[in-house]
Amino acid sequence: MSIQMPREFIVARTGRILVTGSNGFIGAKVVEILLEYGFSNLRCFVRPSSRLDRLNRVIQKFSAEKTVELVSGDLLSREDCARAADGVSVIYHLAAGFDKSFAGAFMNSALATRNLADAFLERGRPTRFVNVSSFAVYSNLTLGRRAPLDEDSPLEDAPQERYDAYGFGKLKQEELIRSYGQLRGLPYVILRPGAVFGPGKKDLTGRIGVDTFGFFIHIGGSNQLPLTFVDNCAEAIVLAGLVPDVNGEIFNVVDDELLTSAQFLKAYKKVKPLFSVRLPYAVAYGLSMAWEGYSRRSQGQLPPAFNRRRCAADWKGNRFSNRKLRDKLGWEPRIRMKDAMQQFLAQFSARSH
Amino acid sequence: MPRVAIIGCGKIADQHVQAIHRIPGASIVAVCDREELMARQLAERFGIGGCFADAGEMLRVSSPDVVHVTTPPQSHHALGLQCLDAGSHVYIEKPFTVTAPEAESLIKLARQRGLNITAGHNYQFTPEMLAMRRLVGDGFLGGRPVHLESYWSYDLGDLNYVGPLLGNPNHWVRQLPGQLFHNLISHGVARLAEFLDEEIVELVATAHQSAYLRNLGGQDVMDELRVLIRDRFGTTASFCFSTQIKPGLNQFRICGTANSISVDLMSGSLVRHVNRSYKSYLTFLVPPMVNAREYIRNARRNAVDIFRQRLHQDSGMKELIDQFYGSITGRGPAPIPYREILLTARIMDAIFAQIHATAGRASIPVAARG
């Protein structure tokens, strides 16, 4: 592993940094990398009911009990946000409560972010607000198969039709952050990680297929996955909060040497046997269209869980680039894809069960 | 058909919008939430014209015929009064109010104003519950029910619900007198209230915290509840609320002197238990086959209803709303009698008073009122 220590930061090593979602899969790694970089005034926001296993492991690893302050609360509470943002220079906002409902997703994403951004502007020393979003905000409906999907690609304009509450929440969150940037001068950067994988997350990304019907349906096969290994993704996030002259920028986060879904599934099956049936993309698209039509005609008797927009977003297959990430943040993947896959698959070995 | 408004744009509001959209002629003219962003997101997604952060302004500007109140229960009473004062009929989500006296004052005002009000006891209106009601009405039980059983489960596996409320003692669910129970048991109690007399002579409630919730750091929140009730006619009822029973139960059993009925709302099934005796070992052969025939009949009916697009996941809510709108326009009676709404509230009050006062065993009579 080679650790690239960036040249110039917008915040001193003693500057106060807040990380929300700090016990999450990516958040704990962000804290780890910040400690690696030598930051000594970290505040981690956690839910009162959270089990803090991941975060505690990181704190113990660096003997950082005095360096890392834990603040417990709810981002839907303005008072809790004010406590968290007090005196903070940089916020890494990773908290993402998952909720299947659109209203719940909106609350967890947009409302929580509004509260945090307000608190940052009022109680912090606003230097950078890093908002961690998702590839789910994109729509590739009008893009051809294998066409490049980058930071300028169209955003989803009908999340309700796509039946994607998470994507809706993230779209509204980004909308809010951009408007705070324009109207209230919030210095922000938005990151859109692709499919984040690594030890500690055993599920296959939905971009490979679905297991809704009791067995795994592998959709497509040659579609490239926008993979990013958790260490690489976390480092991109960390850099987005530290590198100067990138306020208002948006970055996609994907690794080098991306695999296709068939390549990923083949490697996965070697360590974790799985019965799967392959469904060509065109067939999946046709079935999704039929499902969507029935859902509409029956006034929602079947929710439109499968629809053309979702089918395209997950399985159409586009090409992805990290050029902007490299050029503007000076990011390099810490872990190469081959090693990343080894680390991911190692968790399925007998001792890890 | 009515012009409808919704106050409270949280998770349940989506279900209301979707159910209302399936009622021919009904139109949603406004949505309102104290948190304006919440109102806006709902209005945008469903193309609703009116979007407000103040209920008074919404009532003044939009003048809706009906208002659905889908806010946390603590605001139901005040908002209900406000809507009735403005001349709107009101549908209030469960629990109807925080206390029975609040429920009484809402119903009193509705009567005074000549307006209709109902509670969101939508599980009373699923197809199998409607079929049960028809059978009871046709005298299938042979008279007053002898015994009622209601099972209601809620899975706490989804930490999205329980996580925030466990972590925050100021969470609105924690502020209710019955905490978690208060927000969850109305459906299970309402089906008992339908068949019990208003004069309850005995009620025994016991509650405790499951090991699962304790491991989550549940503090003072209880999640397992059992209740026994007897009314003045001797009809008894038992109620079981559990977060732990697997598979989850949503069942109602009503036993009469002639026959009995079981309703399983999870599978949309109604089983008639006909009082017949069989000779010798036929007792072990015929009744299982009769029951099997009952279940096949249910499966066949559900299949036809699904195929004909008559069965939706939220059929109960659509039916209740449809009947409520019908009662407003004179098509039919109020879907839920006021005595049932009030008795549900009184039973819940008595349960919460008892589990908090004694943690359990003493019997406290519930006096009938009004």
Whether residue A97 has pLDDT greater than 80: no
Q: How high is the pLDDT of residue B370?
A: 39
Q: How high is the pLDDT of residue A66?
A: 87
B283 secondary structure, DSSP code = G
* 3-state helix/strand/coil string of chain B: CCEEEEECCCHHHHHHHHHHHCCCCCEEEEEECCCHHHHHHHHHHHCCCEEECCHHHHHHHHCCCEEEECCCHHHHHHHHHHHHHCCCEEEECCCCCCCHHHHHHHHHHHHHHCCCEEECCHHHHCHHHHHHHHHHHCCCCCCCCCEEEEEEECCCCCHHHHHHHHHCCCCCCCCCCCHHHHHHCHHHHHHHHCCCCCCEEEEEEEEECCHHHHHCCCCCCCCEEEEEEEECCCCEEEEEEECCCCCCCEEEEEECCCCEEEEECCCCEEEEECCCCCCHHHHHCHHHHHHHHHHHHHHHHHHHHHHCCCCCCCHHHHHHHHHHHHHHCCCCCCCCCHHHHHHHHHHHHHHHHHHHHHCCCCCCCECCCC
Domains of chain A, residue spans: 17-199+226-257+318-339
| CA contacts within 13 A on the Cβ side of B87 | 10
Q: What is the pLDDT of residues B309-344, one digit of tens each?
A: 889 989 999 999 999 999 998 877 889 999 999 999
Peptide bond into B333 cis (omega under 30): no
- Decide if A106 and B37 are in contact by the 8 Å CB cutoff: yes
Contacts for B55 with CB less than 8 Å, ≥ 6 apart = B7, B32, B79, B82, B83
Measured distance CA(B178)–CA(A271) in Å, rounded: 49
The closest alpha carbon to A234, from A7, A10, A31, belongs to A31
CA A129 to each of CA A70, A120, A246, A249: distance values in angstroms, whole numbers, following the listed order: 19, 8, 11, 11
Query: Mean pLDDT by 10-residue block, N- to C-terminus, for chain B (370 residues)?
Result: 95 96 96 97 96 98 98 98 98 98 98 97 98 98 98 85 78 92 97 98 96 83 96 98 96 98 97 95 95 97 93 94 94 92 98 79 47
Q: List, in sequence order, every beta strand (DSSP E) within A40-180.
A: 42-46, 68-72, 90-93, 128-132, 148-149
B185 secondary structure, DSSP code = -
- Decide if B35 and A111 are in contact by the 8 Å CB cutoff: yes
Chain B neighbors of A302, CB-CB under 8 A: none
Single-letter amino acid code for the residue at B265: L
| A167 sits in which H/E element | helix A165-184
Query: Do A63 and A36 contact (CB within 8 A), yes or no?
Result: no
Chain B, 310 to 349: residues with Cβ < 8 Å from chain A are: 311-313
Closest-CA residue of chain A to B311: A301
Name the residue among A98, A300, A301 with its Cβ closest to that of B160: A98
| B60 sits in which H/E element | helix B55-62
Q: Under DSSP, is residue A289 helix (H, G, I), strand (E, B) or coil?
A: helix
**Number of other residues whose CB lies within 10 A of the CB of residue A330:** 12
Peptide bond into B247 cis (omega under 30): yes
- Decide if A299 and B22 are in contact by the 8 Å CB cutoff: yes
Measured distance CA(B200)–CA(B231) in Å, rounded: 4
Report, as an integer, the average pLDDT of A322-344. 96
B36-46 vs B11-21: helix axis angle to the nearest 10?
A: 30
Chain B neighbors of A298, CB-CB under 8 A: 309
Q: How high is the pLDDT of residue A11?
A: 95
Confidence of residue A351 (pLDDT cuts 50, 70, 90): low
Q: How high is the pLDDT of residue B248?
A: 94
User: If you average pLDDT over every residue of chain A, what do you get?
Assistant: 93
Name the residue among B14, B163, B313 with its Cβ closest to that of A101: B14
Measured distance CA(B204)–CA(B238) in Å, rounded: 10
Residue A65 structure tokens = 């009990």
Q: Which CATH number fits domain A17-199+226-257+318-339: 3.40.50.11540, 3.30.470.10, 3.40.50.720, 3.40.50.300?
A: 3.40.50.720
Q: Which domains does chain B have, with CATH numbers?
A: 3-119 (3.40.50.720), 124-328+344-358 (3.30.360.10)
- Decide if A48 and B42 are in contact by the 8 Å CB cutoff: no
Find the largest Cα–Cα distance for chain A: 60
CB-based contact, B21 to chain A, within 8 Å: yes
Confidence of residue A352 (pLDDT cuts 50, 70, 90): very low
Q: Is the ipTM of this complex over 0.85?
A: yes
Q: How high is the pLDDT of residue A5?
A: 54
Residue B206 structure tokens = 């016991």
- Decide if B168 and A74 are in contact by the 8 Å CB cutoff: yes
Name the residue among B41, B306, B311 with its Cβ closest to that of A106: B41
Report, as an integer, the average pLDDT of A107-114. 96
Q: What is the pLDDT of residues A192-205, one digit of tens each?
A: 999 999 999 999 99
Cross-strand partners of B31: B6, B51
CB-based contact, B309 to chain A, within 8 Å: yes
Q: How high is the pLDDT of residue B337?
A: 97
Query: Do B203 and B349 contact (CB within 8 A), yes or no?
Result: no
- Pick from A98, A107, A162 the residue to mutate for testing the B interface (most B CBs within 10 Å): A107
**Number of other residues whose CB lies within 10 A of the CB of residue A203:** 7
Q: How high is the pLDDT of residue A7?
A: 65
pTM: 0.91
Q: What is the pLDDT of residues A244-271, one digit of tens each?
A: 999 999 999 999 999 999 999 999 999 9
CB pairs under 8 A between A and B: 68
- Pick from A106, A156, A180 the residue to mutate for testing the B interface (most B CBs within 10 Å): A106
Confidence of residue A313 (pLDDT cuts 50, 70, 90): very high
Report, as an integer, the average pLDDT of A125-146. 96
Q: Calculate what percentage of chain A has a pLDDT beyond 70.
A: 97
Chain B neighbors of A72, CB-CB under 8 A: 167
The closest alpha carbon to B249, from B128, B181, B153, B123, belongs to B153
Q: How high is the pLDDT of residue A323?
A: 97
Higher pLDDT, A135 or A6: A135
- Decide if B167 and A47 are in contact by the 8 Å CB cutoff: yes
Report, as an integer, the average pLDDT of A48-74. 90
Closest-CA residue of chain A to B43: A103
